[in-house]
Structure 1
């Protein structure tokens, strides 16, 4: 009698459906994946991580969109976090991924994907322009010895939960805006508690500032490309994560 080895259960945590969209065909081909969209923000991400662990996830991949804080982390780049910093803390709060899992994650980027490696900071709001990003970097330089290369709004919350449950985790963010880029509108007031765009307020914002519409369309194209690059990378990553870590 041949006993089949149980497949490793991999939890994949996105914030938003548009981050997940290009990954859906890969989900269908990988029966050992547990995928969840948590909504934006660290609290939603923490709840999403809890849900994936409750469903039996043995690894946790935290992924989605992010912003660049330095020149080399440009739109379309993927940032693999070697540490996740709390960007809202007044003293250092850091989580680092599992060494073996992180090593594997560095090896699998396909040729068309530009993978950068470095610290990522989690913030509580969208940083709207280069001035806000520069001020944020200056603030964190007084707290952390290494400056973050990028920002997001979820990863610290998810990493905190995974670490508390001794679940190996990694974070990879697909960059939609660079360090010099500005948001076309203030998405802090145009989204709901899940981070989803509210159509009517966005329409009003476009009517008030129609000159910003081309920038909004460009951001949409960049986000679609970033999600595509992320899916290509994740396809390779989940293919190699089939055995428990030593």
Structure 2
């Protein structure tokens, strides 16, 4: 079973691959420097770009290309670094998504924010397979909780508090998960999200971010995934770790 891991940028893809060898795989469309698909055994890692639109487009392209070649993916994983809600997921921790929610997709009203579902359109959240997600959280020592997708990174205490109020128990925010999940859902493929926390959600203080530490935590999380993966149901691939014996 093949797994597609989608990150925003190459540094996150490098962290997922853990420094091991990989080879580049061509995808349809015009290649962009610093982005693209790399294969390591059964694991394909795509740096798709920043934000939910780029993530959805890249994920859909990779899933479609795999279907056309007769080698479809059995699981999609949105992975990378992100902000953590400090009381739930401190800097340096790893979060596995209980749900993947579009936190700013909707409308502002005099009475507050209305999610897109309240407007009668689509969905504002996807839920990964619970047994698999919990198993990944246990294996990696991760926090298990909601991960929010935003198009604008939170930069004030007030906005952080508003998000926490609208999404009780929220563990982290990032910019790609919902886009990845939308594309996966359109193809009928289950999805996970794994985030390593580089900074607290709240007032923006770039000097306090711990990006190298978060990337190291992301590498450790993928290295910790057992093979086979406990808790995987028959319709979900049994492992996430690359198999060097599998033919490319």
Is the TM-score greater than 0.5?
yes
| Aligned equivalents of 1:236, 1:147: Cα separation in 2 | 25
Residues 105-124 of structure 1 mapped to structure 2, 5 A cutoff = 105-109=136-140, 114-124=141-151
Contact 2:90 2:200 in 1 (8 A): yes
Q: How many Å apart are 1:94 and its aligned residue?
A: 1.6
Structure 1, unaligned runs of 5 or more: 1-7, 185-214
Q: CA deviation at 1:106?
A: 2.5
Q: Which of the two has higher C-alpha Rg?
A: 1
Name the stretch that deviates more: 73-82 or 123-132: 123-132
> TM-score if structure 1 supplies the norm length?
0.71
Deviation at 1:98, TM superposition (A): 1.7
Q: In angstroms, what is the RMSD of aligned CA positions?
A: 2.5
Q: CA deviation at 1:30?
A: 4.1
Write out per-residue CA displacement over residues 27-83 of structure 1, whole angstroms, 9 at most, x where no aligned residue.
Answer: 649411111001110001101211331223221111111111242311111111101
Alignment size in residue pairs:
196
| Structure whose residues are more often strand by fraction | 2
- Quick one: which of 127, 133, 151 aligns to 2:154? 127
Name the counterpart of 1:137.
Answer: 164
Aligned mates of 2:20, 2:5 — CA distance in 1: 12
Is the CA contact (8 Å cut-off) linking 2:139 and 2:226 kept in structure 1? no
* Residue aligning to 1:46: 56
Structure 2 gaps of 5+ residues are 23-38, 67-71, 107-113, 118-123, 236-248
How far did 1:118 drift? 0.6
Output the CA distance in 2 between the equivalents of 1:61 and 1:71: 25
Whichever structure has more helix as a proportion of its residues is 1
Assess if the C-alpha contact under 8 Å between 1:121 and 1:152 holds in 2.
Answer: yes
Note the C-alpha offset of 1:154.
Answer: 0.7
| TM-score for the superposition, normalised by structure 2 | 0.70
